[in-house]
Amino acid sequence: MTTRTGYEINKLSVRTGYFRKPSTIRQALNGKSQEEDAKGGFDMSSLAHDAQEFANRETVEGIQRHKLALLGERLAAHQNWVDHFASVGMRAQDLGSPGALRDAPTLEKADLRSRYPYPFLTVPVGRTERFCATSGTTGLPVLFGFTKQDFDVTLVRQLSRIFRTVGITPGDLAYQGYGYGLWIGGPSMDVAMKAFGVVNLPVGPGRGELMVSWLKDLGPTVTTMSPLWLMTLINLAHGSGINPKRDWKLRVGLFGGQSVSATFRNELEAQMPDGFRAHNIYGTTEAGGPVLGISCRYSHAADEMHLINDDSVLSEIVDPGTLAPAKPGDVGEIVITTLDKEASPVVRWRTRDLVRVSERPFACPCGRSGYPLVGRIIGRSDDMLKVRGVIVYPTQIEDVIAGVEGTVKEAWQIFIDRKTSVLDAIEVAIERKSNSNRSVSEIVNQVSASLNARLGLTCPVLCHEEGSLPRYEAKATRVLIRDSACSIT
């Protein structure tokens, strides 16, 4: 084991402004080196407990400063990063200076695509264990590399913290429903579940008829999937004579790939076994996986989540226009810097995901006060619609639909005539539940009135019979462009 002496720790404090408390430093830094971890010396038994998980904010910020200094030293050895920092008159090594991160240039998708095929890869391809990629819906997928350390150690530690936060325990049987291939979701869960001791059913998305039976017959207690897919499974189960609330054993769900409203989540939970909790999990390929955010037992009720790995993926919440830090209660964009990742680190990557900073971000009763609280993802800065001067996020429309009795909560779409800076019209398509005793006109009238009250706009609403609109096993497509849409009146 690599152990730092008190003298070495004090040198760290002077050089990086790390900590003022030697005992805190020893807790945070003692352990095996990255080299030992990469050689297979990582002790998986340590995944059951992580003292750093309950560190205070001062300690977490000290860890961030120390890791930023080390990150800057690593990036200084790579010309792409040297050029990137030079674009704003900085050196990579400046990351070790207090407050320097806010002066660093942000990273955009265009920066990565301009360095195709291996953008900002900081290890030889031969040292890369695997690649994952973004979806590529707006161009070529962007590849991100993982070393053995990244995938088998860093990612496992990050997800193990998430598992502990939601009460997953070794021996739980999990239905793993995230996708595979180049997407990080499924592979990351596989490697973390194995290390943590969770028994894995790696089915991935789809095979709904099989899964509604297996959820009854095999009795998984944990699931990872899209929340929209779970609602589809619930409906399939009822159609097969299976009652999820009575017949399934699920206790914990990690739902990612699609942010949903608290109303939708509450309806999910109401149809599941007593005590079931649908936890929001948040991450990105650029962050290294679904490792950024998770709700705990307390923040779940407030529709908030911890930025739970802020000591290994530093998250800033900033104004999307000015990049100034967002204050408690404000909406801001998540900007991330990967502190531990070896193969494809990012510095100030603009996720475009918008959240509201909690009014009391460091005061959760769970004790994880070092890891700030934010609300669920409310939209993306590049998905924002401007309709006759009114800012509209798709999640606002989802909130309205989910709150109207008789609608199918997982089935809705927005139609626009073109993607321009200002729209003249949007049209909302919904479905009526087949067993609803409400008429189509009643549902349409209530949705229209609620949208007008929420947005200040009168939007045409088209109501279809259940099963008419697309269903999604992963992330849903909500905004569709067509040649013409009905005008707003």
Answer yes or no: is 180 within a domain.
yes
Residue with tokens 């307390």: 298
pLDDT on residue 18: 37
Which residues have CB under 8 Å from 93's CB, separation 6+?
Answer: 72, 73, 76
What's the mean per-residue pLDDT of the chain?
Answer: 86
Answer yes or no: is 408 within a domain.
yes
Answer yes or no: is 71 within a domain.
no
For residue 339, which of 282, 292, 280 has the smallest C-alpha distance?
Answer: 292
Residues facing 431 on adjacent strands = 464
Neighbours of 72 (CB within 10 A): 23
Domain identity same for 400 and 334: no
The pLDDT of residue 35 is above 60: no
How far apart, in whole angstroms, are the C-alpha atoms of residue 133 and residue 347? 18
* Average pLDDT over every residue of 340-369: 96
Domain boundary among 380, 400, 417: 380
Tell me 412's DSSP state. E
Beta strands in 295-338 (DSSP E): 304-307, 313-318, 331-338
Q: Strand, coil or helix: what is 385?
A: strand
**Tens of pLDDT, residues 425-451:** 789 999 999 999 999 999 999 999 998
For residue 314, which of 57, 36, 32, 25 has the smallest C-alpha distance?
Answer: 57
Domain identity same for 186 and 238: yes
pLDDT more than 70, % of the chain: 87
pLDDT on residue 489: 34
Domain identity same for 302 and 423: no
- Band (pLDDT 50/70/90 cuts) for residue 421 is low
Domain count across the chain: 2
Domain boundary among 380, 402, 436: 380
**Tens of pLDDT, residues 6-34:** 333 333 333 333 333 434 434 444 444 44
Q: Would the pTM count as exceeding 0.85? A: no
Q: Write the CATH number for 399.
A: 3.30.300.30
Q: Write the CATH number for 216.
A: 3.40.50.12780
Domain identity same for 430 and 461: yes
Domain identity same for 350 and 411: no
Domain identity same for 440 and 372: no
CB distance 450 to 380 below 8 Å: no
How far apart, in whole angstroms, are the C-alpha atoms of residue 95 and residue 102? 9
CB distance 105 to 85 below 8 Å: yes
Amino acid at 401: I
The pLDDT of residue 156 is above 90: yes
Which domain, by its residues, includes 473?
385-481
**Tens of pLDDT, residues 366-397:** 999 999 999 998 888 777 777 877 778 787 88
Which element (helix H / strand E) includes 316? strand 313-318
The pLDDT of residue 43 is above 50: yes
**Tens of pLDDT, residues 309-333:** 999 999 999 999 899 999 999 999 9
Domain boundary among 380, 412, 428: 380
**Tens of pLDDT, residues 246-266:** 999 999 999 987 777 788 889
**Tens of pLDDT, residues 458-473:** 889 999 999 999 887 6
Answer yes or no: is 209 within a domain.
yes
Domain identity same for 352 and 427: no
pLDDT on residue 34: 46
Query: What does residue 316 show for φ and ψ, rounded to 5 degrees?
Result: -105, 145
The pLDDT of residue 2 is above 60: no
Q: CA neighbours within 13 Å on the CB side: how many for 15? A: 13
How far apart, in whole angstroms, are the C-alpha atoms of residue 306 and residue 364? 9
**Tens of pLDDT, residues 173-221:** 999 999 999 999 999 999 999 999 999 999 998 899 999 999 999 999 9
For residue 71, which of 338, 455, 323 has the smallest C-alpha distance?
Answer: 338
Neighbours of 27 (CB within 10 A): 15
Q: Strand, coil or helix: what is 211?
A: helix
**Tens of pLDDT, residues 213-256:** 999 999 999 999 998 899 899 999 999 999 999 999 999 999 98
